[in-house]
Structures are given as structure tokens and as C-alpha cells.
Structure 1
């Protein structure tokens, strides 16, 4: 597979899943002590990656759980932020400035701060009250966030089958390697067909809306300098659909939660207008060893794996490195 280091991928993923005992101990302690608000704090991609877990809590729990933008939290504040707040942060590098400052801000208000990162000596790790550390460069953080949120909901009596789910999740690194293998020819074909496409229209919903936002902004825009429009499938018929034309590249991310019909509806309309509609559907991947009732929870992980293959092939056909930046961490701002 193009640009895929299988041993490294397996080791990084396994290191995240191996945090289960620490995550369980932490969650159990927090529940026993009691808290009222959970803030999932991020910046850019790590903010978008929090949305599936806000979505999970919103549909399953009475606990106040919100995804918030680190920089906005600092300047706007939050009336419910205080000693009964738990704030969770993630950072691949451990040095994301907005997140570092947000940790300081949350602690100044009395909140208990948790960080997930791959660098134990980084500011995101050392400034938080507790850091749970995986191998360097481990991405995405869905492994850890899935364990954290499902354990939390289970302790509150709002999630059934946690032990079985967490046990099955231990096999996800190998499962995702098989997903990558299956996606490789699909990714190559998409890249070849779209090597000269300079605009993509992305649609997703439910627990895939965060990934839709992330892939549009952080990959296609930031890493490939391509213009995009991204819209939630539930909001598709309220403005953005007017941008569709016969040759518009439409990318649809389809999952397996209760919002699937909303994305189906958007896809049906898009196909009436555009002749270039591509659907990446998690149902296409077997996920051997995962119970049917848990598949929907894994949709962000599955599509991250699939679309990482697409990203590598776009990098190849467009001769545009995924590491190339003009402004991000290049210029002061």
C-alpha cells in the first residue's frame, strides 16, 4: 500500500487501545467524585474529532457534554466552566498553542484537565492534570475517546455492553489494516479520476459530520490547497445545494448511525444534478470481530483509514506533498 507503514500503524493504534486500564481507572474516579460538565476541547482537526463524542453523549446521556474550540473558549468563556468541570484535550504534537493556552485557562477556572498525546514531555501533557500517552504520532484519537466516552456512559447506565465493546476494540488495529487494504484500489482510482479537480463538495452527517469537516478543511484545503464546500447532510437543502453543477465533484461520507437516511436523501438529490458523485460508505467494510450494534460507533475510525489512502494517492497524482504548508506553522499569526 502506497505510503503505508503497517508495523508503525499497528504499534501506534495498539498503544492507544492499550490505554484502556488507565482510561477506565480515570473515568471511574471522576464518576465517583462527581462532575457536572464535560468539555471536549480542540483546535482544527482535534476540535472536529471531538464532535462524534458530543453527538454520542447528546443522544444517549443527560450529562452536559460539549465540543468547544480552544481559542474561542479562552476569549468567550463558559458560564458552566468551574470546579465541577472536566476538560479533555488531544494533540498529536503536544504543542498546539491554542490547546496549551486553553489548558491553562480551564485550570485557572478550577476545571480538571485531561490530555491525550504521544509526547509525555510536551506542554499539552505537562500542563494538564493528567496525561494519557500513546506512541508518538498516533492518530486519530478516536481509539481513546471511544473508550473514554463509552466507559463514562456505561458508568452512568447510559451505554450497554461496554465490556464486550472494549474487548472487541482491542482487535481494531488489525481490522483497520484490512480496511486499508480493501480501500487501496478505490483510493487509487478516485485520485486518478480527480487529479485535476480543483473543487470538491463534501457531505456527511451524524457522527461523521466531524470527519467531513476535518477532511475538507485539514486535508483537502490545508494539505492539498484545494477549494471545498462542506455541509451537514441535514442542512444540505438549506443553501449549499445551489452550488452543485453537472461536473461538481461530490464526496459523500456515509455511516451506520440513525442519521443515515439524511445522507441518503442528500445523495439522491446530488445524483440528480452531478455526474461525479463518490460515496465512501462504512458498510462496505466487513470489520470482522465487531458486533453489528457497535459498527456505527467506529465509522469515524473506518473512514479515517479509508480516506488516508485517498490522501496518499492524491499526494502522488498531484505531486503535492501532504506536509507542504504556506502559512500554518510557517508564518506568525
Structure 2
């Protein structure tokens, strides 16, 4: 019963927010967060960019959001903020700043109450599981909540029917994740054993998947494993970054199912021609049974992110470097 209440609470929170959408004239969405919380907002921006004819979306790092102070921020703005434990100072300050401009503010957090929720109009509490572990409620994980809000917004304002298809698809996400974990478990161990001593690993993707590549680079490889990395947009690869490629440079390429896949395919052709240390995770190889065909391009990043977390756990184990290890974060003033 307690687990059911967790889902019901989050869904009820979203329903209240959708009701608030009906009462506001909204023409711009600002996704505001830091680090991994910011990265997971890219798929929702991609959705709004493609699907909306009247609403635009931007992703901002919390501190720059305040200092840049977008001229379009105002009463017709929706500001969605995320902080895992709701204590990121920059994000809490960004919520207060947005409210001061008259914007409607929505906070996403794993915990129940925190400073971020106190500065926001609405709060949604998402479900979370440690890296590589199966979340008992992936239908209300952070990515899913963001899609519920962005697709729900376009449903309310423009009659976009993908919101209903999302709700049905999310019910199958637990099975999709379980199959993906079983499919890649051994491959992740093999990769970790082979690449555990690398000093640098680049990541690459495009479209709805770019945020996943960015998150793996800065949160897993740099923050949690102290491995040099950089997330490269597949469309930018041939405009400078490809000069770094040779047979000794490791790359992780994510290939999704959205409209930008040709960019990733072009990058793959070049990587295979001039590189050897390649990890290619292709969403075409996932079993997405139960996910609506029209939503597979949007939901593929969620599965790619989960699979990468399976790899992260194995890499940490092979390197004898726990994902929780930090030098500076939460330990020194910054």
C-alpha cells in the first residue's frame, strides 16, 4: 500500500499542476537545474521544440539563469526546477528569482520537503533508485515526471494527444528496464574490465539523447570516477572534435530513435573508420514492447540512461573506485 501511495502522490501532484496550467497563459518554459538534474531536462526540451507551435523551451544552469535574467521571463513563463534533495542553493535561489518575476514555478525533488519546495509554487516528488538498480516506480522517475509535465502542458494548451500515450507507455517502463539490464549485464562487465585504466573517455549523442551523454560525462566519468571526459554533440563532431580521434581514444556513442539519428549514424561511420575503442549503445537493439511507436524516440533516452548506469556500476567495481567517492563535493567550501 505504501508503494502505491508513492505513485498516487506524484500523479496527484502532477494533476494539480496541469489544472494550474489551464488557468495561466503560458508561452515559454524554462528548465532550470545544475549538473545531472539539468541534463535530464534535455529530452523534454526536445519534445516541446518539435511538438509545440506556440510554446518555446530553454534549458538553463541555475546560476546563469539568475545572472542572465532572460528578458522573456515573466508571468507567462513556466519554470521547472530540479534538485535531487532540494538543497542545491543555486536552484533554490533560481526558484525565488523566477517567482519574483511572476513566473509559475514547479520543483522536482526526490525528498518530501526541502528549501527548493519552499520557494516554488508546486512540488512533485519523484522516485529514485541507485545507479544500475531497477526503480520500483520508473513511471514516476525524474525523466518520467518531466515528460508528464511537458507533454501535459501541450495536452492542456494545444490538445497534443501524446500525453495519453505517455501514460500508457510508462506502465511498461519497468519491464523495459528489466530486459535492458539482463541484455547488457555481461557486456557491461566486459567493457569495465577492458577500459578500467583509461584516463579519458568521450561521450557523444544528439537530439533527445544529448543530455544523457552529457550526464554520463560530467556526473559518472568526471565526478564519480575522476576520468577525463567531454560530451560531444554528434552534429558538432565534424567541426573540431573529430581531430582528437585515433585508435587509442575511447568513445561512447549513443544512438537514439528520434529525428536526429542521422547525425549519430554519420558519427558512427567515422568512429568505425578511424577509431577502435568504441562503445555503441543503439536504442534499436532495445526491447521496447509496450512503448507507443510515436513515443519511442522520446523515451529511448530513459533506457539509454539506465543502461549507461549499469555500465557505471561495473566500471566503478573494476576500478575499485566507488561511485560515492568524492574529493571536493560536499567536503570543502565551494
Q: Is the TM-score greater than 0.5?
A: yes
Shift of 1:16: 5.8
Equivalence for 1:7:
none
Shift of 1:22: 3.1
**Change in CA separation of 1:102 and 1:21 when aligned onto 2, cut-off 3 Å:** same
* 3-state SS of 1:95 partner: coil
Instruction: Please list every run of 5 or more consecutive structure 1 residues that lacks an aligned counterpart in the other structure.
Output: 1-10
Measured on the aligned residues, the alpha-carbon RMSD in Å equals: 2.0
1:114 aligns with 2:106: yes
* 3-state SS of 2:72 partner: coil
Q: Which runs of 4+ in 1 moved over 2 A?
A: 14-22, 134-140, 154-162
Deviates more, 1:311-320 or 1:98-107: 98-107
Equivalence for 1:32:
23
Shift of 1:135: 4.5
Deviates more, 1:304-313 or 1:73-82: 73-82
Residue 78 (structure 1) aligned to one of 60, 67, 70: 70
| Structure 2 CA distance for aligned equivalents of residues 158 and 244 of structure 1 | 46
* 3-state SS of 1:196 partner: coil
Equivalence for 2:88:
96
TM-score, L = length of structure 1 = 0.91
2:127 touches 2:142 (CA, 8 Å); kept in 1? no
Shift of 1:291: 2.2
**Change in CA separation of 1:15 and 1:281 when aligned onto 2, cut-off 3 Å:** farther
* 3-state SS of 1:234 partner: coil
State how many pairs are aligned.
322
2:151 touches 2:162 (CA, 8 Å); kept in 1? no
Equivalence for 1:300:
301
Equivalence for 1:60:
51
Q: How does 1:41-52 map to 2 (within 5 A)?
A: 41-52=32-43
**Change in CA separation of 1:136 and 1:188 when aligned onto 2, cut-off 3 Å:** closer
CA deviation profile, 1:284-314 (whole Å, cap 9, x unmatched): 1112211222111111210111011101001
Shift of 1:80: 1.2
1:17 touches 1:144 (CA, 8 Å); kept in 2? no
| Structure 2 CA distance for aligned equivalents of residues 158 and 266 of structure 1 | 36
Shift of 1:169: 1.0
Equivalence for 2:147:
146
Equivalence for 1:221:
222
Equivalence for 1:246:
247
CA deviation profile, 1:31-59 (whole Å, cap 9, x unmatched): 33322221111111111111111111112
Equivalence for 2:176:
175
CA deviation profile, 1:187-231 (whole Å, cap 9, x unmatched): 111111111111112110010111111110111001000011321
CA deviation profile, 1:239-282 (whole Å, cap 9, x unmatched): 00000011111110110001101100011011111111210111
Shift of 1:101: 1.1
* 3-state SS of 1:156 partner: helix
Q: How does 1:13-24 map to 2 (within 5 A)?
A: 15=6, 19-24=10-15
Instruction: Please list every run of 5 or more consecutive structure 2 residues that lacks an aligned counterpart in the other structure.
Output: 130-134
2:126 touches 2:142 (CA, 8 Å); kept in 1? no
1:17 touches 1:143 (CA, 8 Å); kept in 2? no
* 3-state SS of 2:229 partner: strand
1:16 touches 1:143 (CA, 8 Å); kept in 2? no
Shift of 1:180: 1.6
TM-score, L = length of structure 2 = 0.91
| Structure 2 CA distance for aligned equivalents of residues 17 and 213 of structure 1 | 31
| Structure 1 CA distance for aligned equivalents of residues 308 and 208 of structure 2 | 16
Shift of 1:136: 6.3
**Change in CA separation of 1:207 and 1:15 when aligned onto 2, cut-off 3 Å:** farther
Equivalence for 2:259:
258
